[in-house]
Chains A and B, each alone.
Chain A
Amino acid sequence: MCRLFALTSTEPVSPMVAINALNVMKEGHDGSGVGLYLSGLSGPFAEHPEYPILSGIFTEKGLKRLDGIMDDLGFRPFHSVSIIKSSPPVGTPKRGVYLARAYEPPKAWADLPEAERTAQLVQARVAIRQQGEAERDMMAFSFWPGVVMIKEVGDPLTVGEYLGLDRPDLHARRILCQGRQNTNYAINLYACHPFFIEGVCTMTNGENTAFIPIREYLSSRNVPGYMGYQSDSEVFTHIMHFTHYKLGLPVEAYKHVITPLSDAEMAGHPDRDMLARLKVLCRKMIIDGPNCVIGCLPDGTMFMAQDRKKLRPGVVGGKPGMYAFSSELCGLDAAIPDRDKTLDFQPMHLDTAYVRPECQEVTICSQLQALPRQR
C-alpha cells in the first residue's frame, strides 16, 4: 500500500518536510517511486501567479522540441527551475532535465474566456505528452498556473536529496506527496501519484476494483485529459474534476459521487431527492476499493476522503497556519510535532475532512449532513 502525505500551510514550506514525513512511514512503501505536487509557490514563480508552469522531464532533444511547440503556441519562457543530474542513485534511471518552467502567455490570452484558456492549457499538456510518448523524449505532468509537479522512480528521501528539492523557489504552501508501493503496474512515471488535471490534484492508496468500468466511462466523456490511466488511481482525480467542473458540485459532494449513501441512510437526509438523483446519475463512478483519497482543489482546498468501508488508514491534524493529511500518525508527528494531538481526526466511512487555503481549521463533513447551499 502506498503512503500519502499532504501539507497545507499559510507560509511556504520546503518539499523536504513532506518527504521526510513519508520517510518515517517507510515501512509502508517500498520506495519504488515518489510524486510531488506543489502549489502556492514562493520565489520567482509567485511573481506572476497567473503564468502557467509546465512540469515534466525532458531529454535534450525533447527540450528543443518543447521550445518549438511552445513558440508555436506563443508562450514565452519566464522563469525555469531545471534540474540536471548525472549520477542517479541506485534504482533511479538517468534522465535529462527535470523542468518546471513558467511561461508568459501570448497577448491575446488575457481576452479569452476562462474556460477557453484552461482548455488550451490541457490541450497543450496532452499534446506534449503524446508527442513525447512517441519519441520518448518528453514527459509532461502538469501545465497550470502556480503548480509544479515532480515524479521519479526510487526511494523518496534519496530522490528528494538527489534532486535537491530543498531549494527556495520550490517551497510551497500546498504539497501533496506520495511514496509508492509498486504492486501491479510496471514502474512508469505516469503511473506515479499524484495526478493532476486543470487545477485538481489527487493521490490515492489502495486498489480500485471498479477501475475498468470507471476508466471506460471517463474515457468516453470526451474530456481532453481523461486519458492515461496507467494507474487505477488516476480515475479518482478525474472523478473529482468531473464533480467540480462538469457537475459544479462542492468538495462535500465528492463522496456522494464515489461512495453514495445507502437507501436507508438517505431516507432521512435533508438533501434526499438530490442525493438519490446523484446516486443514479453517477452510478458508473462509484468506487469499490479500499481507498484513501487526498487531494487539492483549484481554490487550494485540501481534503481527505475514505472508501465506503474505511479500509485504509488516514489522519488529519495540525495547528492554525499548518495542517497535514497523512496515511499514518507517525508522518503527522514528524511534520507537525507541536500540534494539539487531541484534535487529530481520522475520517471514517462517511467523512470528508478538508482544510481551506486559509489554514485555520479542519472541517469535517459527514455524508449524513446537509450539503452546502448551491450558488
Chain B
Amino acid sequence: MQPTAGITPSTLSVKDLPWQVEWNKDTCTLCGRCTSVCPVSAIELAVHRKRVVETTTGLLQKPKNAYSVFHGIRQRTDAAYACIGCAMCTMVCPNNAIRPMRLDEGTTLRFHNNRGGHARTRGGRRNAPDSLLDQIKFIRISMLTDPALDAGRHEFELRTLLGRVLPPEQGLKAFQENGWVPAVREIYPLVIGSMSFGALSPNMWEGLQMGVAYLNEELGMPVRMCTGEGGCPPRLLRSRFLKYVILQIASGYFGWDEILHAIPQMKEDPCAIEIKYGQGAKPGDGGLLMWHKVNKLIASIRGVPPGVSLPSPPTHQTQYSIEESVAKMIQSMSMAWGFRVPVYPKISATTTSRAVLNNLVRNPYAAGLAIDGEDGGTGAAYNVSMNHMGHPIASNIRDCYHDLVQQGCQNEIPLIAGGGIGKNGNLAHNAAALIMLGASMVQVGKYVMQAGAGCVGSEIDRCNICNLGRCPKGITSQDPRVYRRLDPEKVAERVVDFYLAFDTELRKIFAPLGRSTSLPVGMSDALGIANRDAADRLGIQYVV
C-alpha cells in the first residue's frame, strides 16, 4: 500500500486474512498458471520495486542506492478477493513455489465480509471440525463368551429397508389375503444424499450416476442416490437406471413438470420420493441457486428461464400445517406412482422432529423420515444459517428412535440420518454409530464430493465457494471451462472405491460385535463414550 493511500475501515492487510499466500521468488518461473487458475483472483502478477543500499569499505565513497524491480505474485487484500485457501495455485505450480497458509489470528476479514450490506453467503459446511460422532467407541466386543465373526469370510447382510413396514401380524395377514402393503425397498444403508443437478456440475452428476449404476449392476450393491431439488435429466427418467434414483421434490418444485410428464414413459419406478421440508445446513431456508449457475441446460431441466436466481421458498406454499404437508403431499406423490413407490419427508433436525415423527407414525403412507443434522452441507446458504442454525443429529435420531420404541414402531418407519457423517473422514465409523443409535440408514453429501471428486472444502473454512459457480474442482460449477476439469469416469471410479472401502470397514466394525445377519439398528449396548453428559443424553455407556 502506498503511504498516501487512504486507510478506510475495510482496508485490510495480508495479516488480516485467514489465508495467506506464500510465494517463493527463487523458484517461481513466472509461468502465470497460478494467477489464471485462482477462482477468486486472490493473486495477481505484480511488479515489485526493490532498493538496495550499496556501501563500500572505507570512508572515501558515500553509500549509494541501487533501485531494481522484480516480477512476482502479490496477494490482494480487498475482502472481495480474499484467498480461500483452495491451493489450486499450489496444484498447478510446476515448481511448488506458491502455497496458501492458514493464519488463525487473521480474523479481521470476518468483520468485513458484509460490505454493501450483504450478509455473507457461501457454500460448504458449518466450519466446526469437532464431531461428537467421532468420540463414540464400539465397546461390546465378542470375546470368548461368543466367537467374534470373520469380516472377510462370514456372510454379511448389510442391507436396510426403505419404506413402511407393517407390524408382522398385519403384514402377514395382508399377504394371505392379497391385500395392499406399502412398498418397501431393500437398499444399501449408505445413500448419496440430495445434491441437485444445478448445484452440481453435469460432469459430477454423471460421474455419480455412473458410479451408482456400476455398484448396482456389477457389484450387486443396491446403492441409491437422491436427486436433490433440481429435477432429473429426461433420459435418466426414461431409463432403467431410474430405479437407483430417489427423486426429490422440494418447495420450488423445480423439474417436476418434466418428471410428471415422463411418468407414462418410465420403464422403472424410482426407488423412492423424498419430500424435502428442510435441510440441516440451513434449516428453515429454501434452496438458493444463484443466476450465474442457471445456464440453458439447468434452466430446461428445471423448467425455468435461464439466468435468473432460483431461491426456493422456505416451505411448501400449498401447505399450511403438518397434517397438510404430510397427509396430502405424501398421498398425492404415492398416488402418482400407483402406491408402488415409498414416499418420505426430509426435515432438518430440530427439537420438533419428534412431533413430525409422531405424525408420520399415524400415517400409513409415510415411508420413513429423513433427518438432516446441523453438520450437513449445502451449495449455497447464508453463513449465519450454516454456522448457527440447526440441531445435532445424534441426540435427534436417538430421541426419535426412543419414541418409536415407545410406540412399538422401531424399524417400521425407518429413520434416515444425515449431516456431518464422515466429516473428518470417519465415514464407516460415523454411519455405524448412528445406525446403532437407531438410524436405519445414513445419507452423505460432502463426503461424496470430497472422496469422489476431490472437493477441497474443509471444516476450517477452506474453499466453500460452491455458491459462486467457480468451483476450482469443477464439482459445483456450471461453467464448462471449469467443469471439464472433472472427468465423470474418474468420479465413478472413486465412488466405487469409497463404497467398497466403506463396506469393508462396516464389516470390520460389525464382525467383532458379533453382528452379521442383520444391520444392528438400535444396538446401543455396543456404544460407549468418554463424556458423561453425552452418555446420559444418548443412553449409552460412559467409559473412561
Cα-based distance from A247 to B168 in the complex (angstroms): 7
Q: Separation in Å of the A72 CB from the closest CB of chain B?
A: 31
Q: Assess whether B520 is in contact with A216, with CB atoms less than 8 Å apart.
A: no
Of residues 329 to 373 in A, which have CB atoms within 8 Å of B's CB atoms?
none
Partner of A259 from B171, B405, B517 at Cβ < 8 Å: B517
Instruction: Indicate if the CB atoms of A246 and B142 lie closer than 8 Å.
Output: no
Q: Which of B186, B406, B517, B522 contacts A288 (CB 8 A)?
A: B517
* Chain B CB within 8 A of A227 CB: no
Interface size class of A (residues with CB under 8 A): 35 or more
Indicate whether B169 reaches chain A with its CB closer than 8 angstroms.
yes
Docked-complex contact B166 and A184, CB < 8 angstroms: no
Chain A's nearest CB lies how many Å from the CB of B85?
44
Given the interface contacts A213-B523, A220-B406, A220-B407, does A206 sit within 8 Å of B171 by beta carbon? Answer: no
Distance of A286 Cα from B514 Cα, bound (Å): 13
Interface residues of B in 130-184 (CB under 8 A from A): 140, 142, 145-147, 149, 154-155, 157, 161, 165-169, 171-172, 175-176, 181, 184
The answer to whether B410 touches A216 (Cβ under 8 A) is: yes
Most buried by A among B155, B168, B518, B522: B168
On chain B, the residues within 8 Å of A311 by CB distance are 146-147
Q: Assess whether B525 is in contact with A220, with CB atoms less than 8 Å apart.
A: no
Complex Cα distance A278/B167, Å? 11
Check A220 against B410 for contact (C-beta < 8 Å): yes
Q: Which of B393-411 contact A (CB under 8 A)?
A: 405-411
* 184-242 of chain A: CB within 8 A of chain B: 184, 206-207, 209-213, 216-217, 220-222, 242
Pairwise interchain contact B514-A209, C-beta atoms closer than 8 A: yes
* Nearest opposing residue in chain A for B175, CB measure: A277
Instruction: Provide the A265-281 mask, 1 if CB < 8 A to any CB of B, else 0.
Output: 00000000110011011
Q: Check: B251 CB closer than 8 A to any chain A CB.
A: no
Residues of B near A206 (CB, < 8 A) are 146
Residues of B within 8 A of A287 (CB): 517
Complex CA gap A113/B515 in Å reads: 42
Contact B516 A288 (CB under 8 A): yes
Whether the Cβ atoms of B168 and A281 lie closer than 8 Å is yes
| B513 touches A (CB below 8 Å) | yes
Bound: A30/B524 CA distance, A: 30
Chain A residue contacts of B407, Cβ below 8 A: 220
Residues of A within 8 A of B343 (CB): none
Q: Is A79 an interface residue (CB 8 A)?
A: no
Of B145, B176, B411, B513, the residue contacting A283 (CB under 8 A) is B411
State A246–B168 Cα separation when bound (angstroms): 8
Docked-complex contact B165 and A212, CB < 8 angstroms: no
Complex: A249 Cα to B167 Cα, angstroms: 15
Q: Which of B76-91 contact A (CB under 8 A)?
A: none
> Does B333 belong to the interface (CB within 8 Å)?
no
Q: Are A262 and B155 in contact (CB under 8 A)?
A: yes
Q: Decide if B146 touches A290 in the complex (CB within 8 Å).
A: yes
Known: A220-B408, A247-B169. A288 touches B145 (CB 8 A): no
Near A by CB (< 8 A), chain B positions 494-544 give 513-518, 520-525
Given A216-B405, A278-B172, A288-B516, A207–B145 Cβ distance below 8 Å? yes
Q: Tell whether A289 pairs with B146 under 8 Å between CB atoms, given A213-B522, A283-B161.
A: yes
Q: Is A309 an interface residue (CB 8 A)?
A: yes
- For B411, the chain A residues whose CB sits under 8 A away are 217, 283-284
Nearest Cβ distance between residue A17 and chain B, in whole angstroms? 30
Residue in A closest to B524 when the chains form the complex, CB atoms: A212
A216 to B155 CA separation, bound complex (whole angstroms): 26
Given A213-B521, A280-B184, 5 more pairs with CB closer than 8 A: A212-B525, A247-B172, A274-B175, A280-B161, A284-B521
B residues apposed to A, CB below 8 Å:
140, 142, 145-147, 149, 154-155, 157, 161, 165-169, 171-172, 175-176, 181, 184, 186, 405-411, 513-518, 520-525
Interface on A for B, CB 8 Å cutoff? 183-184, 206-207, 209-213, 216-217, 220-222, 242, 246-247, 249, 259, 262, 273-274, 277-278, 280-290, 308-309, 311, 374
Provide a sorted-by-A list of 22 A–B residue pairs whose CB atoms are within 8 angstroms. Answer: A184-B145, A207-B142, A209-B146, A209-B514, A212-B523, A212-B524, A217-B405, A217-B410, A246-B169, A247-B168, A249-B172, A262-B157, A274-B175, A278-B168, A280-B165, A282-B168, A284-B410, A285-B168, A288-B515, A288-B516, A288-B520, A290-B147
